[in-house]
Chain A
C-alpha cells in the first residue's frame, strides 16, 4: 500500500502450456474503487466476490455514494460463518479462500486481509498463499510508507519472483492497482514492470 494507491500482484500458476492464461482470473474488480486478489479455492472466492459486488452496488443505490473499503470487507466476512441458522442460507463447509481486498475511499488507500474464519485485518503489505511466509518476511524488510506506485510494483513483482518456481512472464503473473480506481494491467504493462526488475 502506498500513499497514492494499492498494488496487487498474483502468480497465476499456469500448470500446462495448453492452459489459456487469460482464463485464470485471480484478481477481480469488486467496484470501481475496490479490487480483490484471492488464494485458495478460487470457486469459493468467486461467490464472495459476487456477493461483494452486489453489496457495493446496493450501497450505491441506497446512499448514492461508494461503500468504504472496510464496510466492503465486513460485508464479505459476514458470509464466512453462516452455519447452523436453520435452512436459510446455511452452509455445510467454510469458504476455503483468503482474500486481499484493496481499495480507495475517503480515508485514502487501504488493504485488508481476510481468512476463512471471517476475521479481517488491515495491513500495509501482505502476502498470502503458498510461499507466503517467505514473501511476508521479504515484505517486512522492503516495505516502507513512502513508496511510490512504481516502487511498490517492482517490490511486489520481485518478491513474487523469489517465491515462484517458474520465470516471471506477462502470462503467468497478474498485477492490478487501485489508485484511486481499479485497473488491471494489460500484458504490455506487466511486461514494462518486469523489465524494471
Chain B
C-alpha cells in the first residue's frame, strides 16, 4: 500500500510551545522522517501540516521561522488553487518550497524540512531539504536533533545494497504501511533514549489513497 507516515515529537511536556530557553536556534527539537514507498516521515512538534492534495510538510528548527514558512506555503497553495483550478501536486509543492527557501538565501528560514505525500501516479514520495532549499526526492529521510540517531537505522533497514551489485536490486526496499509505521515507532523510541530533545510524543501521519490519518504515540518523558 502506498502511504506516508509523519511522526513528530514534542520537546517539553506541558506548555504548547517550548519555553524560549529551549527553543533556540541551536538545538531544534527532533524531527525525523523515515519514508519509503509508503512514505513515512517524522516531523517536529506542531509542524506537521496538511497541504495540497495529499502532501504534508514536517519541519524542525526555529519555530518562528517554521510558522512563517508554513503559513507562507499555505497561502501560496490557496492562491494556486484559485488561479489554476486544481490542488497543488506534491512535486509542485516540493519545487515551491525549494524556491521559497532559496529566496531567503542570505537570511534563511531556520527550518529543516521534509515533505511527504503521493505523486501524480499515487506512489509515495518524500522530499528532504536543507535550510536554503537544496532538495532531493528520496525514499526516506530524517531531520532535526535526533536525525543522526535515526538516519543510520533507516539506512540499514531501507536502503538498497550497493548499486554496483549484480543482479540489480530495488532502489529502496518497499514496505507495507504497517511495517513502515512500526519502523517509525521503533526509531523514535530509540532516538528518545539518547537525544535529550526528543521525547514526550510522536505524531505519525499516514497518507495513502484512502486518505490521511494521524496517530499520536507516547514516548519517554524524561
Residues of A near any B CB (own CB < 8 A): 61-65, 67-68, 70-71, 74
Contacts and interface: CB of A to CB of B under 8 A. Distances in A.
Contact of A71 (B84, B91, B94, B95): B84
27 contacts: A61-B95, A61-B99, A62-B95, A62-B96, A62-B99, A63-B80, A63-B88, A63-B92, A63-B95, A63-B96, A64-B91, A64-B92, A64-B94, A64-B95, A65-B89, A65-B91, A65-B92, A65-B95, A67-B84, A68-B84, A68-B85, A68-B86, A70-B84, A70-B85, A71-B83, A71-B84, A74-B83
Given A61-B95, A62-B96, A63-B80, 7 more contacts: A63-B92, A63-B95, A63-B96, A65-B91, A68-B84, A68-B85, A71-B84
Which 7 pairs between the two chains have the least Cβ-Cβ distance? A64-B95, A63-B92, A71-B84, A65-B92, A63-B95, A64-B91, A62-B99
Nearest to B95: A64
A8 to B, nearest CB: 24
| Most chain B Cβ neighbours within 10 Å, of A64, A70, A74 | A64
The secondary-structure label for the interface of chain B is helix
A20 B85 CA distance: 43
B56 to A, nearest CB: 18
Contacts of B92: 63-65
Nearest to A61: B99
Nearest to A107: B86
Contacts of A63: 80, 88, 92, 95-96
Contacts of A65: 89, 91-92, 95
A70 to B, nearest CB: 7
Interface string B94-116: 11100100000000000000000
A64 B80 CA distance: 13
Contacts of B91: 64-65
A142 B116 CA distance: 49
A188 B99 CA distance: 44
Nearest to B85: A70
A51 to B, nearest CB: 16
Contacts of A74: 83
Interface string B144-157: 00000000000000
B81 to A, nearest CB: 12
Nearest to A75: B83
Nearest to A59: B84
B89 to A, nearest CB: 7
A76 to B, nearest CB: 14
B209 to A, nearest CB: 18
B120 to A, nearest CB: 8
Nearest to B93: A63
Contacts of A61: 95, 99
